[in-house]
Amino acid sequence: DVKVTQSSRYLVKRTGEKVFLECVQDMDHENMFWYRQDPGLGLRLIYFSYDVKMKEKGDIPEGYSVSREKKERFSLILESASTNQTSMYLCASSAVLDTGKVFTEAFFGQGTRLTVV
Amino acid sequence: DAKTTQPPSMDCAEGRAANLPCNHSTISGNEYVYWYRQIHSQGPQYIIHGLKNNETNEMASLIITEDRKSSTLILPHATLRDTAVYYCIVRVRTYNTDKLIFGTGTRLQVFP
């Protein structure tokens, strides 16, 4: 079974703190993604990575950065947390299309519900 | 990037077919249509995907129009456990990137 594991299910942080959200996958996937989910807005892509040390901005990268030093781990960093970053954060990973791999769909973690106070 | 449009909510009687529409009128020729669903408090779960042809698996069927501007996910015999938010997604693949663009989804309520 594919496992995408997010380090925390619930997190409470103070405004201005630096926050790290960690995600680990065990399927040797090239792609990893960070989304945030807010009521009425669906899932919005923050950043994604298609290889170690490679990253691209998604639709809402402002206030976030990412790190991918190893293939299995993708970290989302909130440099200075603000209350408008209170949200559910979802990590996903997938194999790249057209590489001959059977399962190319993205697999999601259970999510981290972050509250910034 | 291609975007998708879905109705915000739908109801379906248990045992009947649930037909969930999706509009993706700006989709490009190499972009796939994926469907996921999310049951409350869980991460999204993959259902099915397709490029041009209709597809079927043990969970659902996917019907894509010939012009590829819209698709329909069919759950042939909906159960109460199919109550969830269903996302129609375009998968954008370029030479070095591969990303899923989510919309706001359809909340499907299956009632007894």
Nearest to B52 by CA among B24, B78, B79: B24
* pLDDT (average), residues A7-29: 95
| Nearest CA distance, B93 vs chain A (angstrom) | 8
Residues pairing with B18 in the sheet: B75
Strands A112-116 and B18-23: unpaired
CA distances B55 to A108, B47, B58, B64, Å, are: 23, 11, 11, 9
Query: What share of chain A has pLDDT > 70, as a percent?
Result: 91
Q: pLDDT grade, residue A98 (50/70/90)?
A: low
- B17-68: per-residue pLDDT in tens? 999 999 998 888 878 899 999 998 789 999 999 988 899 999 999 999 999 9
Residues pairing with A64 in the sheet: A78
Q: CB–CB of A42 and B87 under 8 A? A: yes
Q: For residue A39, what pLDDT is reported?
A: 86
Q: Note the Cα B104 to chain centre separation in Å.
A: 11
Query: What share of chain B has pLDDT > 90, as a percent?
Result: 65
Q: CB–CB of A110 and B98 under 8 A? A: no
Q: For residue B1, what pLDDT is reported?
A: 57
Asked if pLDDT for residue B97 goes beyond 70, the answer is no
Give the dihedral sign, CA B1/A43/B25/A103.
Answer: positive
Which residues of B are less than 8 Å from A108 in CB distance? 43-45
Let me know if B77 is exposed, middle or buried by CB neighbors in 10 A (0-12, 13-18, 19+). Answer: exposed
Residue with the larger pLDDT of the pair A74 and B94: A74
φ, ψ for residue B42 (rounded to 5)?
-120, 165
CA distances B35 to B5, B72, B95, B103, Å, are: 13, 10, 23, 11
Question: What does the block give as tokens for A100?
Answer: 């001959």
Q: For residue A102, what pLDDT is reported?
A: 46
Distance CA(A69)–CA(A47), nearest Å, equals 15
Q: For residue A1, what pLDDT is reported?
A: 67
- A23-55: per-residue pLDDT in tens? 999 989 888 999 999 988 888 999 989 889 889
